[in-house]
Amino acid sequence: MNRATTLATAQRVLRQLRHDPRTIALLILVPSGLMVLLRYVFDSKAAFNGLAPALLGIFPFTLMFLVTSITTLRERTSGTLERLMTTPLGKLDLLVGYALAFGAVALVQVLAAVGVSTALGLNVKGSFWGLLLVTLLGALLGLALGLFTSAFARSEFQAIQFLPLIVFPQLLLCGLFHPRAQMATVLRWASDFMPLSYSVEALKRTALTTDLGGAYLRDALVVAACALAALGLAAATLRRRTA
Amino acid sequence: MTYAIARLALAPPLAPALTDAVTHSVVQCENLLVQRGGRTVLKDLSFEVAQGTVTGLLGPSGCGKTTLIRSVIGVQTIRSGRLTVDGLPAGHRELRRRVGYASQGASVYLDLTVRENVRYFATAVGAPASDVDRVIEEVDLGRLAGQLTGQLSSGERSRVSLAVALLGNPRLLALDEPTVGLDPVLREQLWSLFARLAKSDITLLVSSHVMDEAERCDQLLLMRGGELLTQATPAELKERTGAPDLDKAFLRLLQQTGNAA
């Protein structure tokens, strides 16, 4: 990996975003806005406290998935990816550059959402930093999955369809709608294989209990490992030579 | 130099040692076969491109020009045959610094300014920072350097793409239809630039389907239906076919080879 080209890539991605202020506004404001919505749908601080931690993980995960799959697809269809692959730039330089740039965006997004949630009465009993860390890992996971799945989309239309395919099952099974322990065995197993389940579990723990034990660490590590694995898979989809 | 190329083209059975002594070939292609989606797109192509020349790749659209250029820069999977650039197999790691490429559509970022585009690719190629302004001037975009690429006309965009291809110190420039959508003045400027680059010993492989551009090439590769019809200089082609211009020469060649087959 080369530091100069990695940083140049991150800088380039951020520059592209800077020329698109509407996307920046949407990225930063939408999760916060949804938290406001959530707070008043239930109109109860207790209910909000129960759901907000999980959603703080889910929103950045989903948005990053969407943003990166579209951006990478554009890179593929516009020919810029093919061009980059004819230069000495390494595949990892490109992917890590993307991860750095969108990771920075995710950080701002998460900080805004956590700030708004706190103002709305979210009471982080455990560790605020623990919450932030897992939220960011979730965003990185979404990013890596987005990079990976975009390789299988021929058009932006198809890329969007991967959202219900990859993200929605994880949403349904992550324990947000129904406790994982009470699910049918098969669904429990499926849920065990979905990284979002671990992210949501860790978030609940950081927000609702003061005890950040080994279980938190294990969950956070699972999310991080999944993000890295997806990034590795994404690197494998970048080809210097195509048929 | 031109004489040497002419001999090379007219007498292909010449011993390799002898041709190497006369001129150095940057691209060497033997029996290249490329298939895409089960269809043979390039059928048994053999040719050479001499150093410091402008070689025009001509033929009707769909004849395989783009696939050939993609093969030369090493992004196209080859079924069989031998294709080397600068003595190394096409697509070799070492060649990533030595080959400049501009695809048919302007493969640059539309949501970046001209300078931001060139600066990023300069880092990717490993070109010095001073190259950024040089290549922007070379394609005459200095006035528009601060503009968003997406707001430029298609001709201007393809010049941004060309500027990126010029970055670093490429030994070979592979340009796929670089003059499409350009007005006559700009086309003239670009072909003068190509000639200037060739003089400084850069080798250019330029595809086009405009025959009047063929006149500006040192050497022509004429293709049809995935096959190489001939490799010749513009003068040879006219002489061989007895046609007054290259347009007619190409048509006659198509008819001759059509009858022969």
**pLDDT per position as a tens digit, B145-190:** 999 999 999 889 989 999 999 999 899 999 999 988 788 888 888 8
Structure ipTM: 0.89
* Mean pLDDT score, B104-114: 94
Whether residue B112 and residue A19 make contact (CB cut-off 8 A), yes or no, is yes
The residue that leads in pLDDT, A8 or B9, is: A8
pLDDT at B12 exceeding the cut of 90: no
As a whole number, mean pLDDT of residues B183-208 equals: 92
Residues in chain A with pLDDT < 50? Answer: none
Any B CB within 8 A of A9 CB? yes
Answer whether residue B114 shows pLDDT above 90.
yes
Contact call for A78 and B110, based on CB within 8 A: yes
pLDDT of residue B258: 67
Q: Please check the confidence at residue B117 and state whether its pLDDT lies above 90.
A: yes
Q: What is each CA distance from B124 to A7, A86, B46, B159, B216, in whole angstroms? A: 11, 10, 32, 19, 32
d(Cα A117, Cα A154) in Å, to the nearest integer? 38
Find the radius of gyration of the CA atoms of chain B. Answer: 18
Residue B4 has pLDDT above 50, yes or no: no
Q: Report whether pLDDT(B259) > 70.
A: no
Three-state DSSP at A215 gives: helix
Q: Are A86 and B101 in contact (CB < 8 Å)?
A: yes
- The encoded tokens of residue A184 equal 């049918």
Location of structure tokens 């130099």: B1
Residue B19 in this model has a pLDDT that exceeds 90: no
- Residue A234: how many CA atoms within 13 Å on its side-chain side? 31
Residue B210 has pLDDT above 60, yes or no: yes
Cβ contact B75–A9 (<8 Å): no
Closest CA of chain A from B187, distance in Å: 23
Mean pLDDT, residues B42-68 taken together: 93
Q: Is the pLDDT of residue B232 over 90?
A: yes
In one-letter notation, the amino acid at residue B105 is G
Structure tokens that stand for B179 in this block: 């003059």
B75 interfaces chain A, CB cutoff of 8 Å: yes
pLDDT band at B3 (very low <50, low <70, confident <90, very high): very low
Alpha-carbon distances of B63 from A114, A191, B40, B81, B229, rounded to whole Å: 58, 52, 11, 19, 11
- Count contacts between A and B (CB, < 8 Å): 76
Q: Can you give the pLDDT at residue B143?
A: 96
Share of chain B above pLDDT 70, in %: 90
Q: How far is B257 from chain A (nearest CA, A)?
A: 30
User: b vs e for A79-90, b when ≥16 Cβ sit within 10 Å of the residue's Cβ?
Assistant: bbbbbbbbbbbb
Is the Cα dihedral A181, A184, A190, A194 positive or negative?
negative
Residue B23 has a pLDDT of 65
Question: What is residue A191's predicted lDDT score, i.e. its pLDDT?
Answer: 93
CA distance B41 to B35: 5
Among residues of chain B, what percentage have pLDDT more than 90?
68
Per-residue pLDDT at A242:
85
